[in-house]
Amino acid sequence: MNIKQKIKEIIENALKELSIDFDTDKIVVEVPKNRDNGDFSSNVAMQLAKVLEDNPRNIANRLASVISQNDKIEKIDIAMPGFINIYLKDEYVLSGIENILKEEDNYGKSIIGNNEKVNIEFVSANPTGILHLGTARGAAYGSNLANIMSFAGFDVTKEYYINDAGNQINNLGISVKERYKGLCGKEENMPEDGYYGSEIIDIAKSIKDKYDDKKLEEDIEFFKEIAVDYLLNIIKTDLSNFGVTFDVWTSEKSIRAKGRIEESLKILDEKGLVFEQDNAKWLKTTIYGDDKDRVLVKSDGSLTYLVPDIAYHLDKFDRGFDSLVDVFGADHHSYVSRLKASIEALGYDKDKLEVRLLQMVRLLRDGEIVKMSKRTGGNITISELVKEIGVDAARYFFATRSLDGQMDFDINLAVKKSNDNPFFYVGYAHARISSILKEAKEKGLSINTDIKHMIDADSKVLLLKVYEFTSVVESAALKKEPHLITNYVYEIASMFHNYYGKHRILTDDKVISSEMLGLIKTVQITIKNALKLIGVSAPDKM
């Protein structure tokens, strides 16, 4: 039950009845911080004051006279300078309990996405090494966003773009071959911009174990292919263990093989957007808002990074997506304008691409920054993080912050079994309800959903918080902010803990107890569904 939307609809109908023309999308309905000011409040009268050239209190009174006739409304108060404070009837608030228990795993779902086809491309780390902490944050974000948008009615495809072509992959192949030569007793000649991680030696060892020294004369393509496959398998395994999966893995080599690069360059050239200067080919991206034109083909004939990216995005649009979301590292900030300009140059609306930039993560232990992995000597890996604190704690903590701000990830807090740890605090709320429901079953008590009268004011407040879930899901999906779900689930867990501290659920009064079981079951369902959206399992015991 999206109760906030219901209130908006009631206000919309009142505006129509009074023949007041107003953009209903601008209607704001809020939950007052002080619940004495109603269950919901709207400032629509103040929004209309300038349009109607009237005092907002007068407008509020006119609206209130219509709104109060609705059978869901208990009463309306007008507060200065024109707030409309709405109090709902208890029986209406209670009526949603039965539906939540029936919907269960589907509670909170929305159709607001209208089945719009959305492609979310995230992680897409070059297969030249093992995934590290910063990548984990982007992986959690993309996975969470896909879950939330799917739950909100969007048709979502999760995609990983494999950069398996270009200079970096050449250097990977050379690095592996040189390590292999060393293992075969030959002199190594590692490139300065090569890859020196322990995984490169592991790949070389696997080749040595299988072929001995029989591949010393193989060309670089042999080593590139083995290295990419080896590292990509590690990447897929680490992501899977982190609860992150993809619907599509698209290879840069496949984009090139399909001729999409030549096709893209042809489209741009035929539009008169490509010009030659200094023996290089340039794209007129300044026409589309970029700060300067960009090189497509260098003077030596090699392509810039922009060209395969243009071809790849052309391929995505040609697959019928209505909108694209790319999750990039913060170091790609200056790249966004040229990519969006390139998309517009191809003939697509650049606003159909939204780029979310991933800010840095600092790992803290005992208040100190942890910079290096004990195992590899490099950055902390996803697999190390999951092994130390578990996938649920890792996913929860990454989901607590907006992607556009730097994040401190406190290892000590993540594993702490106390209310100071938000992951523990939320999980404990779900486990506590599970324990109560189990005890009730053992006592022969059943859940009563047909509650005729509100148990108390606290119960109403808690239930209204449950009803906010659908609107929070919609907001998180439309704003592409998964942390809104985490904020919400922490708030409802906190409200339940406070409620539990004030009220005994299981008492000698079996009627009241069975009604309260229905209430807390809705809280449990909501917490479970919210946690699932951010890739976290809800514990039944702790």
pLDDT band at 451 (very low <50, low <70, confident <90, very high): confident
Mean pLDDT (whole number) for 146-159? 98
pLDDT band at 425 (very low <50, low <70, confident <90, very high): very high
Superfamily name and number for 122-257+359-413: HUPs (3.40.50.620)
Q: Please, are residues 29 and 40 in contact by the beta-carbon 8 Å criterion? A: yes
pLDDT beyond 80 at 34? yes
Non-local (6+) Cβ contacts of 521 within 8 A are 101, 433, 437, 447
d(CA 213, CA 183): 9
pTM of the predicted model, to two decimals?
0.93
Lowest model confidence (mean pLDDT) among 337-346, 372-381, 431-440, 470-479: 372-381
Give the distance, in angstroms, between the CA of residue 318 and the centroid of all CA atoms in the same chain. 25
pLDDT beyond 80 at 455? no
pLDDT tens for residues 512-534? 899 999 999 999 999 999 999 99
What percentage of the chain carries pLDDT values higher than 90?
Answer: 86
CATH class, range 418-533: mainly alpha
- Identify the pLDDT of residue 260: 96
Q: Which pair of structure tokens corresponds to residue 195?
A: 């890859």
pLDDT band at 1 (very low <50, low <70, confident <90, very high): low
Q: Which pair of structure tokens corresponds to residue 287?
A: 């026409």
pLDDT beyond 90 at 244? yes
How many other CB atoms sit within 10 Å of the CB of residue 79? 14
Task: Give the 3-state secondary structure of residue 542.
Answer: coil
Q: Where are the domains of the chain?
A: 3-88, 122-257+359-413, 418-533
pLDDT tens for residues 174-198? 999 999 999 999 999 999 889 998 8
pLDDT beyond 70 at 374? no
d(CA 430, CA 535): 15
Mean pLDDT (whole number) for 220-229? 96
pLDDT beyond 90 at 25? no
pLDDT beyond 60 at 375? no
What percentage of the chain carries pLDDT values higher than 70?
Answer: 98
Element spanning 431, H or E? helix 422-442
pLDDT beyond 60 at 403? yes
pLDDT band at 378 (very low <50, low <70, confident <90, very high): low
**Domain 3-88 fold:** Gyrase A; domain 2 (3.30.1360)
- Identify the pLDDT of residue 315: 97
The closest of 66, 100, 71 to 84, measured between CA atoms, is: 66
Calculate the average pLDDT of the chain: 94
pLDDT tens for residues 256-275? 999 999 999 999 999 999 99
Mean pLDDT (whole number) for 331-352? 94
pLDDT tens for residues 277-297? 999 999 999 999 999 999 999
Report residue 364: phi and psi, to 5°: -115, 140
pLDDT beyond 70 at 376? no
Q: Please, are residues 122 and 245 in contact by the beta-carbon 8 Å criterion? A: no
pLDDT band at 327 (very low <50, low <70, confident <90, very high): very high
Mean pLDDT (whole number) for 319-326? 97
d(CA 243, CA 143): 8
Lowest model confidence (mean pLDDT) among 60-69, 133-142, 364-373, 490-499: 364-373
Q: Please, are residues 414 and 424 in contact by the beta-carbon 8 Å criterion? A: no
Q: How many residues does the chain have?
A: 542
Give me the amino acid identity at 60. Answer: A
pLDDT tens for residues 69-105? 999 999 999 999 999 999 999 989 998 999 999 999 9
Give me the amino acid identity at 194. Answer: G
